């Protein structure tokens, strides 16, 4: 009898273990039928040019849901307007977490805005993933393990420009215009680091602006007046377009580096004027959609088909739409990999265990790697010059971490 009871207990134990292994595990924001995620975007305010990125992500999830969702679950993205205002970001994020009960915050945009919510979300152990900002401070898994970036790091990109200057323009008289926040200061820091002991001699003028200012025209005038012949503009789209226009209005012809953040043809260069933008140099990790050289690239063709069907009002050559599409694709991969274990802890685990992932719109040779000890996603770029119609790549891929 005792043997029978022991055997019965073993069978019950085995059944329980098997049941547990196949069990679906959810945190708030996930059910058998839905995954609810949230983000903040500047649909209004001084950085509203980026708002199209959020609209592209909403369209991407509409496409995913139209094809059956993720593992049979519909994805609901709550994309809230924060007007690029940190207090508004805090308000909207608290609502997403405490009232809407999202599973994860994915893709929120902006350095000052994400800074305002980072401690709060990490304190809540809420995944704060794929944030659209390249500030170096986001790669801090020890202090802020729940925050991961998804944007080419600003410092790394700036080092590419410095390497070019040292190689091709060794006697340059450099002027730098930068936004006075972590975004602008990170670019400036990386640029100076790569120039090394030559920074003091080569940089003849620096000038910063506040995001609340209406224009940076006076800074451009001051750069020309200082004898600058090589200009690095570290700006968001609105101010980037202003700099391009003012340089043209002054009939000034410096070598002009424009950071990738403000390199969108549809969002910056077209508003500034394509003729005025001709000759600009930037560093990119993404393919140049619109360049005939990529017309037969399958990743570009798939992206253009997506834009035509799911976001026809969007401009496919606006770089913000390309970032939104790629960021949403990354989120899809992460959530798919969670399977039926849709807990915040597992979402973070999947987001921080990515190895050499190739994505359709990234340049050949550029992949994404994220580990629990290193959240930085990119360090390789390729220089491109605007020819009046599109960005034309030149040279080979350049790693910011390489010695030459």
Task: Based on the fold, state whether residues 169 and 298 are members of the same structural domain.
Answer: no
From CA 366, how far away is CA 135, in angstroms rounded? 19
The reply to whether 21 falls in a domain is no
Task: Based on the fold, state whether residues 49 and 86 are members of the same structural domain.
Answer: yes
Task: Based on the fold, state whether residues 177 and 321 are members of the same structural domain.
Answer: no
The reply to whether 19 falls in a domain is no
From CA 62, how far away is CA 85, in angstroms rounded? 27
Whether residue 296 contacts residue 393, with contact meaning beta carbons closer than 8 Å, is answered with no
Please say if the pLDDT value at position 9 is more than 50. Answer: no
Q: Residue 36 contacts by C-beta under 8 Å, 6 or more apart in sequence? A: 29, 30, 75, 76, 78, 100, 101, 102, 103
Each residue's pLDDT tens digit, 17-40: 333 446 899 999 999 999 999 999
Determine the average pLDDT of the residues in 345-370: 95
Task: Based on the fold, state whether residues 233 and 254 are members of the same structural domain.
Answer: yes
Strand-pair partners of 39: 79
Task: Based on the fold, state whether residues 279 and 389 are members of the same structural domain.
Answer: yes
Task: Based on the fold, state whether residues 146 and 222 are members of the same structural domain.
Answer: no
Task: Based on the fold, state whether residues 277 and 263 are members of the same structural domain.
Answer: yes
The reply to whether 213 falls in a domain is yes
From CA 7, how far away is CA 11, in angstroms rounded? 6
Give residue for tokens 């936004």: 179
Task: Based on the fold, state whether residues 280 and 392 are members of the same structural domain.
Answer: yes
Task: Based on the fold, state whether residues 190 and 139 are members of the same structural domain.
Answer: no
Number of domains in the chain: 2
pLDDT above 90 coverage of the chain, percent: 85
The reply to whether 258 falls in a domain is yes
Strand-pair partners of 228: none
Whether residue 52 contacts residue 324, with contact meaning beta carbons closer than 8 Å, is answered with yes
The reply to whether 15 falls in a domain is no
The reply to whether 20 falls in a domain is no
Whether residue 254 contacts residue 226, with contact meaning beta carbons closer than 8 Å, is answered with no
pLDDT at 14: 42
Each residue's pLDDT tens digit, 154-210: 999 999 999 999 999 999 999 999 999 989 999 999 999 999 999 999 999 999 999
Strands 74-81 and 128-131: unpaired
* Res. 404 pLDDT band, cuts 50 70 90: low
pLDDT at 69: 98
From CA 102, how far away is CA 138, in angstroms rounded? 21
Domain interval for residue 271:
154-284+383-399
Task: Based on the fold, state whether residues 80 and 136 are members of the same structural domain.
Answer: yes
Please say if the pLDDT value at position 310 is more than 80. Answer: yes
Whether residue 209 contacts residue 177, with contact meaning beta carbons closer than 8 Å, is answered with yes
Strands 104-106 and 34-41: parallel
Tokens for 57?
A: 């992500």
Task: Based on the fold, state whether residues 223 and 340 are members of the same structural domain.
Answer: no
The whole model's pTM is what? 0.84
Q: What is the CATH number of the domain that holds 228?
A: 3.40.50.2300
């Amino acid at each position: 009898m005792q043997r029978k009871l022991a055997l019965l207990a073993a069978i019950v134990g085995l059944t329980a273990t098997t049941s547990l292994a196949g069990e679906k595990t959810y945190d708030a924001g996930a059910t058998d039928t839905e995954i609810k995620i949230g983000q903040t975007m500047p649909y209004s305010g001084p950085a509203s040019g980026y708002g199209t990125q959020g609209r592209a992500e909403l369209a991407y999830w509409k496409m995913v849901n139209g094809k059956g969702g993720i593992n049979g679950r519909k994805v609901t993205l709550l994309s809230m307007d924060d007007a690029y205002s940190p207090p508004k970001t805090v308000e909207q994020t608290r609502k997403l977490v405490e009232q809407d009960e999202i599973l994860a915050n994915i893709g929120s945009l902006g350095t000052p805005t994400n800074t305002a919510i980072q401690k709060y979300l990490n304190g809540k152990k809420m995944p704060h993933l794929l944030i659209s900002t390249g500030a170096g401070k986001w790669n801090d898994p020890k202090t802020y393990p729940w925050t991961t970036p998804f944007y080419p790091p600003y410092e790394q990109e700036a080092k590419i420009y410095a390497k070019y200057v040292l190689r091709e323009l060794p006697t340059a008289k450099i002027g730098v215009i930068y936004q006075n926040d972590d975004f602008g200061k990170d670019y400036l820091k990386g640029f100076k680091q790569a120039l090394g002991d030559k920074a003091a001699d080569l940089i003849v003028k620096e000038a910063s602006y506040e995001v609340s200012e209406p224009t940076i025209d006076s800074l451009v005038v001051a750069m020309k007046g200082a004898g600058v012949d090589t200009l690095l503009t570290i700006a968001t789209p609105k101010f980037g377009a202003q700099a391009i226009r003012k340089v043209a209005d002054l009939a000034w012809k410096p070598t002009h580096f424009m950071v990738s953040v403000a390199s969108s043809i549809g969002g910056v260069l077209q508003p500034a004027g394509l003729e005025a933008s001709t000759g600009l140099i930037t560093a990119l990790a993404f393919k140049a959609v619109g360049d005939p050289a990529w017309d037969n690239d399958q990743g570009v063709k798939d992206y253009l088909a997506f834009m035509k069907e799911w976001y026809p009002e969007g401009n496919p050559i606006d770089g913000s739409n390309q970032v939104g599409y790629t960021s949403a694709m990354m989120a899809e991969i992460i959530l798919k990999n969670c399977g039926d274990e849709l807990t915040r802890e597992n979402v973070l685990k999947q987001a921080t265990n990515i190895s050499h992932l190739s994505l359709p719109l990234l340049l050949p040779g550029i992949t994404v790697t994220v580990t629990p000890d290193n959240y930085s996603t990119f360090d390789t770029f390729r220089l491109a010059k605007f020819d009046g119609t599109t960005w034309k790549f030149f040279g080979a891929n350049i790693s910011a971490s390489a010695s030459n």
